[in-house]
Amino acid sequence: MSRVRTDYEKTLWRKIVRFVNGEKDLFDEQSGFNVETEELEDRRHRNFFEEAELNKKKVQIAELIEERSEETEQRAVKLYERFYRLFAVITCVAIIAILLVTVANLPDYGDPDNPANNEVSKKYIEDGIKDTGAVNIVAGMILDYRAFDTLGESHVLFIAAVCVMILLKIDPDSEKGKRFISLENDRAYEPKNDPILVWATGILVPIIIVFGIYVILNGHLSPGGGFSGGAIIGAGLILYLNAFGFKKTERFFTQKTFSVVSVSALLFYSISKTYAFFTGANGIHNIISKGTAGDIISAGLILPLNICVGAVVACTMYSFYGMFRKGGL
């Protein structure tokens, strides 16, 4: 009887259900996919997070659960849950009701006479090509008219990367990190060289990366731009990493690559925008030519800025993944 039950608990569906329900087995159970590596991963896990501390925690959690099973506690929890449900429903309904009434009084959907369709959007559309040289008016707007927002936004990504590093990076020189490095074999986390994955990746990744570069370079001519193209390239890199493992990617992408690329891209961004802001505010003529609208080399600074943003986004996406996986690049 119990055997049947454990099998049931180990099925993929149950795992998904438990993951969606947010139960506790998100990381521990993953090794179940590969029996061979289970022990290794367990060892690594324990070493890294300090066995003694871990055991202590486990005992504490067990104690906690024990305590929770006491009847009074149970009743309190139930009461809390009921209260939580009630409160959640009330909040949700109140917010929705207030905002739905508000929405009814807003300008009509799709009406050309709305206050938002004013001289600002008129200027962006009618003079966009003359002012910025970009055929894609949205690109012209975010990288030229309202460039300060976008400058802040690319730094938001950088800050997020820094925060993720602070949280998850493992220092190879520290005690903890040394033990982690000595175990090293991060392929334990990865699937074995799966022929389907390797072959498919071999075909797909070049296409994905070329497509990403295309999207970045045509940011001022067609839908897309630095952020979308960068995200595509980042996804391509992550796919490559999943198929071939960190050993291969480390040949061309390390912590140093990340620092050099993102720092130089962001510095170029800041400096070129300082130039644009300074000349703009002081009424100095901007010497950067706009080129012929529609050409690939046109639109002044928008193309180089798109490339910078794309580089930063691709590096950041890849670094998020690397940090989540093994605490380093």
Partner 1 sequence: MDLCTNFPMFSIILCLMCGVVCSVLKKNMARYVTYGLLTVLVVLSAAVLGYTVSIDGSFIYQMGHFGAPFGNELRAGVLEGVFTVFFSVIMYLSVIAGEKHIYEDVEESKINLYYTLICLMMSSLLALTYTNDVFTAYVFVEINTITAAGLVAVMGNGRAYFSSAKYMIMSLLGSGLLLIGITLLYDVTGHLLLSNIKYAVVTSTIKEYAEPFTIIIALITIGLSIKSALFPFHSWLPDAHTASTISSSAILSSLVLKAYIVLLIKIYYRAIGWETVLETGVNDIVFVFGIMAMIFGSVFAIAQKDVKRMTAYSSVAQIGYIFMGIGIGNAAGVVAAVFHIFAHGATKSMIFTSLGGIKEVSRHSTKLDAIKGAGYRNKVASVAFAVGAFSMVGIPFFPGFVSKINFADAAIDAGGPKMIVILVALAVSTVLNCIYFFRALICLYTPVSDPGGRLTEEVDNTKPTAKYIGAMAFFIVANLFLGTFSDMIIKLITRGLSMFS
Partner 2 sequence: MQAVIDYISSNLFEGVAIILFGIGFTTLFLHPNLIKKIMGLNIMDSSVYLFLAAKGFVFGRKAPIVTDGVAEMESYINPIPTGLVLTGIVVSVSVTAVMLALTIRLYWRYHTLEMDEIMQIIRKEGK
Residue 303 and residue 295 in contact, taking contact as beta carbons nearer than 8 Å: no
Residue 259 CB, shortest distance to partner 1, in Å, is 5
Cα–Cα dist 45/324, whole Å: 14
Interface stretch with partner 1, choices 69-77, 143-151, 188-196, 231-239 (CB under 8 A) = 143-151
The verdict on 131 binding partner 1 (CB under 8 A) reads yes
Distance in Å, CB of 122 to partner 2, minimum: 5
Q: For residue 91, state whether it binds partner 1 (rule: CB under 8 A).
A: no
> With binding defined as CB under 8 A, does residue 119 bind partner 1?
yes
Q: At what angle do helices 302-326 and 255-281 cross, to 10 degrees?
A: 150
| 106 counts as binding partner 2 under rule CB under 8 A | yes
**Would you count residue 111 as binding partner 2 (CB under 8 A)?**
yes
Pattern 8-37, binding to partner 2, x per CB under 8 A?
A: -----------x-xxxx-xx----------
Task: Give the CA distances from residue 164 to residues 172, 300, 322, in Å, rounded to whole numbers and listed in that order.
Answer: 17, 34, 10
Rounded to 10°, the helix 51-69/35-48 angle is 100
Read off the DSSP letter of residue 70: S
| Residues 232-271, mask of contacts with partner 2 (x by CB under 8 A) | ----------------------------------------
Residue of 142, 308, 154, 136 whose CA lies nearest to 222: 136
Residue 70, contacted partner among partner 2, partner 1, none, CB below 5-8 A by kind: none
266 binds, among partner 1, partner 2, none (CB under 5 to 8 A by kind): partner 1
Burial (0-12, 13-18, 19+ Cβ within 10 Å), 29:
middle
Q: How many CB atoms lie within 10 A of CB 329?
A: 22
Q: Which tokens in the block code for residue 316?
A: 């950041």
Which residue matches tokens 């991060």?
Answer: 186
Binding site for partner 1 (CB under 8 A): 98-99, 101-102, 105-107, 114-120, 123-124, 131, 144-149, 151-153, 155-156, 158-160, 162-163, 165-167, 169, 171, 173-174, 259, 262-263, 266-267, 270-271, 273-274, 276-283, 286
